[in-house]
Amino acid sequence: MEHYYDPQNIERDAQAFWTDHRSFAARDTLEGEKFYCLSMFPYPSGKLHMGHVRNYSISDAIARYQRMLGKNVLHPMGWDAFGLPAENAAIANKTAPAKWTYSNIGHMREQLKALGFSFDWERELATCTPEYYRWEQWFFTRLYEKGLVYKKMATVNWDPVDQTVLANEQVIDGRGWRSGALIERREIPQWFIRITAYAEELLNDLDKLEGWPDAVRTMQRNWIGKSRGVELAFGLEQVIAGQERIEVYTTRPDTLYGVTYVSLAAEHPISLALAADKPELAQFIKDCKLSSVAEADMAQAEKRGMDTGLRCIHPLTGEQVPVWVANYVLMDYGSGAVMAVPAHDERDYEFACKYDLPIKTVICDEQGQPADVTESAYTDKGALTASGDFDGLGFDEAFERIAARLEELGAGKITTQYRLRDWGVSRQRYWGTPIPMLNLPDGGEIPIPADRLPSLLPEDVIMDGVASPIKADPQWRKFDLDGQACERETDTFDTFVQSSWYYARFTCPEFADGMLDKEQADYWLPVDQYVGGIEHAILHLLYARFFHKLMRDEGLLSSDEPFTRLLTQGMVLKDGAKMSKSKGNTVDPQSLIDSHGADTVRLFSLFAAPPDQSLEWSEDGVEGAHRFVKRLWRLAHEHTDKGPAPGLDTGALGDAERDVRRKIHETIAKVSDDMGRRQTFNTAIAAIMELCNELGRLPGDSPQSRAVLQEGLDAVVRMLVPIVPHICHHLWGLLSGDGDVSYAPWPSVDETALVRDSLEIVVQVNGKVRARMEVPADADKDALETAALAQENAQRFMEGKTVRKVIVVPGKLVNIVVG
């Protein structure tokens, strides 16, 4: 026997075998049952981190399991290669983003190969190549033609010192991360895709996604935020900024009589018009703009406001209502104005208390009395009060009658609104897909014609840290359109655009005649299993669902949803915190691969926690995983060193052998369920460990003992292929398995091996365990009850008491209720 487990050799040999045999190339013949298993592709940041290792260990386990079930498996890998970090690295290292990115890709590809993931490397793609992004540009021009794309003013973080737009994460405590300057909100023209046109379908189709975690579906549902409400207007006595009235939207028209003021966003046209001759208001508006655009910052900022002095007219009472400007009202949402009902809305309540504005109760509590709002707002629904003709009505009737009254008066109507906003895709950055639009000399814009695509991003550039190289280069902007001099758009796409369709391009990465080869796309799509971090639950997954529907409506594919089943993996923690360079708590996968082998790293990643929970990294845990792999190696070698095992004769087994054989088949049943339905690889591994412990305890070298051990090891090796494929490749050959173990059939359960003669049943008295008893497996309820009542220790607790009830759960327990 070879004397020790040597992962380096075993893993090198297995990987060479897979490469030589093209083991993981998906068949593109469109035949057979397919399984498309996809993990979220990485941003090529430099080297793999533990989050990647975990993500790909999970998807590889699923892909390999499906191969063993006989499916034609597509398990591709590529690179989400555009993005902000490349620009930062380029400035820091004085290299071009392209060079840095391609070099990172090269290194990370080798690391992924060293981990033995069964990716189909023949389909690799990187989103920063023109072969990829040209189709994204083409698709955007198609959306433009269909009216699904438009340009409007939108808010960004402006760094007044660096004269540049910052991402939200580049704004720290309201200041630019490089300049330290106070950031201000600024409006610039940007391109948008009309995701709101698909809001209803995106919402309704969530019900079809039964293979998605409920948490993700709920989050998306809330994000889309469909609501039924009333759009209404407060009149103005004179026209201001071209407006005769202030439009607001409310889901609580039943509280309309409780309105005590109206709030405008700082950027609202009326606010700006009033500020023209009110210096203190102008100053307040200026102050309001000193904050990042991030919702989390805005919502937690202290609520501030200022009375404009303007009064508007309540549409039902005709009373005058003061108009305020408030920093918590956002111009980008709805109409940029809200009606404030402090008695029945928490934010308005806080604001009214601060500025001593009136609070008027118009809803009754559960006792039918006007709600008490001396301590806090009353936000429950209830009967109306102090609401004119509408007193006493419940929410539903009040909603309808008030809406009808507003409609009669021409002051409002019932509408459906979505919280979801159109997708702003413009970025004022260099390292991204150039937006394929042309600015015409007369001010309009048109798409770059399809035959002039791609609009190439120059790769050989120098980053100075301020201006985008394509914005700084007047030559790049020049575009001759049939003799007409135009200018290219110098903004680039949001990187979410690339990640919204890469899963589809993997079905035909080389296709040169279009965005997708429909035949391939329709065979492979939808993705059967998608695996990635929970942090993508809303944005990436919603944009990808949206793009799928856009591609469907363009006739590029036929399905309605991109991902049938979704697994959102948890984060990898060290000492209870997310691994990060700044915290200094990172663990480098490479050094572990070098010291313990890829199998150990994969095993620990899958064993330490269920995939959807966070995983606490532990050096000791890695050692434990390594020990198990070594034990397995030794168990198999000690067995095969004794020569070939005799054939199994199930009629000739002793009790101990029958027990072990039952364990083998119980384990196959459990592991199959854990791998397939439950996707709890940690419990699958624990069950296999238990089986190995029992196999190690098999008594003696009798022929039937050896035959059972052979059967057990064969099953263990097959079940571990998805988890520790290298050692299984090695052991499979050793146990004289035929062919490539990557395609060995998944083991099946022998039902006859599962039969039991007797079971252990728990006896409880008043719900507490007082005895255990061994009973025949086929004992009926009466027999269980009789046997339980006869238990000595149970009787001790029944003494002097009356048996009220006996509950029998066959196969589990008997509970004797006494009192």
* Residues 140-199 interacting with RNA (rule: CB under 7 A): 156-157, 165-170, 190
Distance CA 30, CA 796 (A): 70
Q: Which is nearer to RNA, 190 or 271 (CB)?
A: 190
* Nearest CA-CA partner of 262 in 329, 201, 195: 329
Contact in structure between 787 and 795 (CB atoms under 8 Å): no
Q: Which is nearer to RNA, 221 or 518 (CB)?
A: 221
Stretch of residues binding RNA (CB under 7 A), selected from 14-22, 233-241, 260-268, 533-541:
533-541
Among 769, 783, 790, 803, binds RNA (CB under 7 A): 769
Interaction between residue 803 and RNA (CB under 7 A): no
The site string for RNA over 539-578 (x = CB under 7 A, - otherwise) reads: xx------------------------------x------x
Q: Which is nearer to RNA, 95 or 650 (CB)?
A: 95
Contact in structure between 8 and 45 (CB atoms under 8 Å): no
Least spacing, CB of residue 408 vs RNA, in Å: 33
Q: Which residues pair with 311 in a beta bridge?
A: 322
Q: Which amino acid is at 475?
A: Q
Q: How far is CA 235 from the centre of its chain?
A: 45
Q: Which residues pair with 1 in a beta bridge?
A: none
Q: Which amino acid is at 632?
A: L
Contact in structure between 140 and 148 (CB atoms under 8 Å): no
Contact in structure between 448 and 494 (CB atoms under 8 Å): no
Q: Which is nearer to RNA, 413 or 772 (CB)?
A: 772
Among 122, 244, 623, 701, binds RNA (CB under 7 A): 623
Contact in structure between 110 and 593 (CB atoms under 8 Å): no
Intra-chain end-to-end CA distance of the chain, in Å:
66
Distance CA 665, CA 754 (A): 7
Among 31, 207, 210, 214, binds RNA (CB under 7 A): 214
Interaction between residue 538 and RNA (CB under 7 A): yes
Among 770, 773, 787, 794, binds RNA (CB under 7 A): 770
- Binders of RNA among residues 706 to 735 (CB under 7 A) are none
Least spacing, CB of residue 322 vs RNA, in Å: 24
- Binders of RNA among residues 624 to 643 (CB under 7 A) are 624-625, 627-628, 630-631
Stretch of residues binding RNA (CB under 7 A), selected from 9-17, 210-218, 235-243, 436-444:
210-218
Q: Identify the helix (H) or strand (E) that includes residue 623.
A: helix 619-640
Least spacing, CB of residue 307 vs RNA, in Å: 23
Q: Which is nearer to RNA, 422 or 714 (CB)?
A: 422
Residue 27 phi/psi, 5° resolution?
Answer: -80, 130
Q: Which is nearer to RNA, 54 or 770 (CB)?
A: 770
Least spacing, CB of residue 647 vs RNA, in Å: 28
- Binders of RNA among residues 444 to 503 (CB under 7 A) are 494-496, 499
813 burial via Cβ count (<10 Å: 0-12, 13-18, 19+): middle
Q: Which is nearer to RNA, 503 or 523 (CB)?
A: 503
Q: Which is nearer to RNA, 318 or 584 (CB)?
A: 584
Least spacing, CB of residue 217 vs RNA, in Å: 9
- Binders of RNA among residues 746 to 765 (CB under 7 A) are 760, 762, 764
Interaction between residue 656 and RNA (CB under 7 A): no
Distance CA 324, CA 310 (A): 8
Q: Which is nearer to RNA, 296 or 512 (CB)?
A: 296
* Secondary structure of residue 438 in the 3-state scheme: strand
Among 405, 536, 602, 706, binds RNA (CB under 7 A): 536
CA dihedral 81, 83, 87, 89 (to 10 degrees): -60
Q: How far is CA 397 from the centre of its chain?
A: 40
Q: Which residues pair with 569 in a beta bridge?
A: 533
Q: Which is nearer to RNA, 111 or 682 (CB)?
A: 682
Total residues in contact with RNA, by rule CB under 7 A: 101
Least spacing, CB of residue 648 vs RNA, in Å: 25
Tokens of 432: 């991204």
Q: Which residues pair with 485 in a beta bridge?
A: 480
Interaction between residue 296 and RNA (CB under 7 A): yes
Least spacing, CB of residue 452 vs RNA, in Å: 26
Least spacing, CB of residue 28 vs RNA, in Å: 28
Least spacing, CB of residue 593 vs RNA, in Å: 19
Q: Would you give the DSSP letter of residue 384?
A: B
Least spacing, CB of residue 168 vs RNA, in Å: 4
Interaction between residue 798 and RNA (CB under 7 A): no
Stretch of residues binding RNA (CB under 7 A), selected from 313-321, 391-399, 683-691, 780-788:
683-691
Q: Which residues pair with 605 in a beta bridge?
A: none
* Secondary structure of residue 230 in the 3-state scheme: strand
Distance CA 66, CA 531 (A): 15
Least spacing, CB of residue 25 vs RNA, in Å: 27
- Binders of RNA among residues 58 to 87 (CB under 7 A) are 80, 82-85
Least spacing, CB of residue 493 vs RNA, in Å: 10
- Binders of RNA among residues 224 to 263 (CB under 7 A) are 225
Residue 749 phi/psi, 5° resolution?
Answer: -85, 130
- Binders of RNA among residues 350 to 379 (CB under 7 A) are none
Least spacing, CB of residue 422 vs RNA, in Å: 8
DSSP letters for 687-747: HHHHHHHHHHT--S--HHHHHHHHHHHHHHHHHHTTTSHHHHHHHHHHTT--S-GGGSPPP
Distance CA 73, CA 76 (A): 10
Among 161, 386, 467, 534, binds RNA (CB under 7 A): 534
Interaction between residue 218 and RNA (CB under 7 A): yes
Least spacing, CB of residue 802 vs RNA, in Å: 14
Q: Which is nearer to RNA, 360 or 770 (CB)?
A: 770
Stretch of residues binding RNA (CB under 7 A), selected from 52-60, 366-374, 501-509, 528-536:
528-536
* Nearest CA-CA partner of 671 in 722, 609, 734: 722
Q: To 5 degrees, how large is the angle CA 120–CA 562–CA 429?
A: 80
Distance CA 730, CA 591 (A): 23
Interaction between residue 295 and RNA (CB under 7 A): yes
Interaction between residue 621 and RNA (CB under 7 A): yes
Least spacing, CB of residue 788 vs RNA, in Å: 12
- Binders of RNA among residues 378 to 437 (CB under 7 A) are 419-421, 423-424, 426-428
655 burial via Cβ count (<10 Å: 0-12, 13-18, 19+): exposed
Least spacing, CB of residue 407 vs RNA, in Å: 28
Q: How far is CA 305 from CA 288, 298, 450, in A?
A: 9, 14, 50
55 burial via Cβ count (<10 Å: 0-12, 13-18, 19+): buried
* Secondary structure of residue 807 in the 3-state scheme: strand
Stretch of residues binding RNA (CB under 7 A), selected from 22-30, 66-74, 390-398, 807-815:
807-815
Q: Which is nearer to RNA, 321 or 816 (CB)?
A: 816
Interaction between residue 294 and RNA (CB under 7 A): yes
Cβ contacts of 483 within 8 Å, gap of 6 or more: none
Interaction between residue 676 and RNA (CB under 7 A): no
Interaction between residue 781 and RNA (CB under 7 A): no
- Binders of RNA among residues 597 to 616 (CB under 7 A) are 607-610, 613-616
Q: Identify the helix (H) or strand (E) that includes residue 176.
A: strand 175-176
Q: Which is nearer to RNA, 73 or 664 (CB)?
A: 664
* Nearest CA-CA partner of 529 in 56, 136, 42: 56
